[in-house]
Amino acid sequence: MARPSKKSEIVEAAAYLFSTKGYHATTVRDIAERAGVLSGSLYAHIANKEALLLEIVRMAANQFTTALDPIVHSNLMVNEKFTKAVRAHVGVITGSLDGARIYLDEKASFGDQGRQEVLDLRRAYEDLWQELIDQGIAGHAFQIEDPHLARLLVLSALNGIHHWYRPHGRLTPDIIAARYATWLLRLLTS
C-alpha cells in the first residue's frame, strides 16, 4: 500500500481540525503539528488556509456528486432511485464525516470568490436532487405540490445527520439510510 503524500496528510489533518475545532479556531500551526510538518514548510504544499478549506470542500462536493449522478441518470424506478440516493448521501456523510461537516457547515468562512465556488458546487448537487424529485412527479410516483420545498425537506433531513452520527453508535449507516428513505418516501408519495 502506497504511503499518502504529504499534501494529502495535510488535507486530512486540516479536515479533522476544521471539523472538530472549526475553521476560524484552527491555526496553521495546529494543522502543521497534526500533519507532522513545520509550520513554514506547510506553505510548500498549500497556498493558504482558505485554499486548504476550499480543497476539502471540492473533494466532498465531488464525493456527493459522483455518488448521486449515476443514480439519478439510471433507468431504475424512481422509488428505487430515491432509496439508493439516500443511501449514497448517507454513505458520503458517514464515510467522510470530517469532509462532509466542512462541506455542509463552513461556507460562511470563505471570501467572496471562494463562497461563490462553494455555492456553485452545492447548487450543482442540489440540482441533481431536484431532477430526481421532478422525475418522481413526472412519473406520478411523488404526490407533492412544491418540488422546491420537497428538495429542501429531503436535504435538510439528510444533511442534519452529520451533527449526531457517531461511527460507533447504535445506528449503522445502512440502518440510518433505510429508515430515512422509508420515512421520506412516505412523505413524498402520500
Write down all domains in the chain, each with its CATH number in brackets.
Answer: 1-46 (1.10.10.60), 50-189 (1.10.357.10)
Give residue-wise pLDDT tens across range 61-118: 999 999 999 999 999 999 999 999 999 999 999 999 999 999 998 877 888 888 899 9
Place 146 in a pLDDT band, splitting at 50, 70 and 90.
very high
Whole-structure pTM value = 0.91
User: In 3D, which of 162, 136, 160, 164 has the Cα closest to residue 150?
Assistant: 136
Place 39 in a pLDDT band, splitting at 50, 70 and 90.
confident
| Percent helix, percent strand, percent coil in the chain, to nearest 5 | 75, 0, 25
- Separation of alpha carbons 20 and 158, rounded Å: 20
pLDDT at 136: 97
CA distances from 121 to 54, 158, 159 (A): 11, 17, 15
Torsion of CA 85, 68, 158, 52, to 10 degrees: 160
**What share of the chain in percent tops pLDDT 90?**
80
pLDDT at 40: 80
What value, to the nearest 5°, has the Cα angle with vertex 25 and ends 19 and 29? 95
CB burial class (10 A; 0-12, 13-18, 19+) of residue 140? exposed
Question: How much is the mean pLDDT over the chain?
Answer: 93
> In the predicted model, is pLDDT for residue 58 greater than 80?
yes
Q: Looking at this protein, which amino acid is placed at residue 134? A: D
pLDDT at 135: 97
Place 3 in a pLDDT band, splitting at 50, 70 and 90.
low
